[in-house]
Amino acid sequence: MKHILVTGGNGQLASCIKDIENNYNSYNFIYTDYEDLDICNKTQLDSFFKAHTLAFCINCAAYTAVDKAESETEKAYLINATGAKNLAEICKDYNVTMVHVSTDFVFQGNTNQSYTENDVTKPISVYGASKLKGEQEIIKTLQNYFIIRTSWLYSEHGNNFVKTMLRLGKERDELKVVNDQIGTPTYAPDLAEVIMSFIVTKNVNYGTYHYSNDGVVSWFDFAASIFKLSKVDVKLTPIPSDHFPQDANRPKFSVLDKTKIKKELQISIKPWETSLQRCLQKLI
């Protein structure tokens, strides 16, 4: 039986991997959170990898507080860059394949074309820059890695846009949501299945891949769909980003091109509306 380490074990994506682990009986999943295993502590990592014979490490550990990262720059880089580097170095030492989750925030977002894996990265926030640095450290260190960039992650677990909208929809009669940031939502259980596809197919075409659900939408339209499908009656007003000031800049357009991953894994990707409906059925 092969052992898989999942860091960030209490987070949204790791929780979704937990939900499907029974479908993968030939693998043993070990979940750790920072209390059990601090990816910023290389000595601790070395001891852990020495004690466990691992085949894969899925790194779901990340600093994801986008706005807070602007004032907690050191902490964001420590977790997203140094932590990723530490894991890559330890994975190399113990011949473990690393699956690392990254973000659409590595792009500037000043285009109207979907971003491919080869497009120039130019983050406009500390969060995006720290995640890009983590990617670069992994690429520099390791050969057997999969970096999967994703966007607008949500699920039944943790804190996310869908759950926030459902809560605010109950609390308020009217909501304002930005309509000039364009991207694609990603249902975390779908991403969890894709990660496992790389593992179970014994894929060795290592490198960077993009994954989200299919389609293009603004945050406003995403919110409108959430309320329509959940039959919540709330007045929704579209506003430009500059009417909703935040500490961190967001890409205006960060749709990810999924051609490479579709071809590599021979998969079709669900439209975001289909996966949203599935999530809402579970939540409501």
For tokens 């750790």, the residue is 32
Concerning whether 127 is annotated as a catalytic residue, the answer is yes
Q: What is the pLDDT of residues 147-180, one digit of tens each?
A: 999 999 999 999 999 999 999 999 999 999 999 9
Q: Domain 2-159+186-214+254-269 belongs to what topology?
A: Rossmann fold (3.40.50)
Beta-strand pair 2-7/56-59: parallel
The span from the CA of 123 to the CA of 253, in Å, is 12
The pLDDT assigned to 244 comes to: 86
pTM: 0.97
| Residue 155 burial (C-beta neighbours within 10 Å; 0-12, 13-18, 19+) | buried
User: Which residues of the chain, if any, have pLDDT below 50?
Assistant: none
- Under 8 Å CB-to-CB from 31, ≥6 apart: which residues? 6, 9, 10, 14, 18
For residue 42 the two structure tokens come to 């290389």
The pLDDT assigned to 264 comes to: 98
* Domain positions in the chain: 2-159+186-214+254-269
* Nearest C-alpha neighbor of 81 from the set 26, 17, 126: 126
Kind plus residue range of the DSSP H or E element containing 35: none
Please name every residue paired with 102 in a beta bridge, in sequence order, or none if there are none. 149
For residue 210 the two structure tokens come to 């993009």
The pLDDT assigned to 72 comes to: 98
Q: Are 268 and 194 in contact (CB under 8 A)?
A: no
Q: Are 193 and 225 in contact (CB under 8 A)?
A: no
Catalytic residue among 63, 77, 127, 209: 127
Tell me which amino acid residue 174 is.
E
Sign of CA dihedral 147, 150, 153, 159: positive
Tallying the residues shown for the chain, one arrives at 284
Q: What is the pLDDT of residues 99-125, one digit of tens each?
A: 999 999 999 999 999 999 999 999 999
